[in-house]
Amino acid sequence: MRAGETQIALFRLSSGTIRAIDNRCPHKQGPLAEGIVSNDIIICPLHARKIDLQSGKVLEPDTGCVTTYLTRIENGQVFIQL
């Protein structure tokens, strides 16, 4: 999804939790929305960087981070705080 110039990847986890992060991996700008989710981790589809969906931090041994956004659900609608 887009918010102005910002591309946001939105994920609903198996727990029902909604996570929203920038849709670009900090390594080579891979589209995170196309990655694989495992628990609270997204795996970048380009080079398998693992990123924590809650904090936005890239897991070691790699480095970097992406912006995360607070989300909430009201009356079945998802709201993202930019």
pLDDT at 6 (0 to 100): 81
- Domains of the chain, earliest start first: 2-81 (2.102.10.10)
CA 30 to chain centre: 12
Question: What's the whole-number mean pLDDT along residues 17-29?
Answer: 93
pTM for the whole thing?
Answer: 0.88
Q: What percent of the chain has pLDDT over 70?
A: 100
**Separation between Cα atoms, residue 62 and residue 47, nearest integer Å:** 11
Q: In this predicted model, what pLDDT tens digit does every residue of 4-13 receive, in sequence order?
A: 788 999 999 9
Contacting residues for 54 by C-beta, under 8 A, at least 6 apart: 19, 40, 68
Q: In this predicted model, what pLDDT tens digit does every residue of 24-47 receive, in sequence order?
A: 999 988 999 999 999 899 999 999
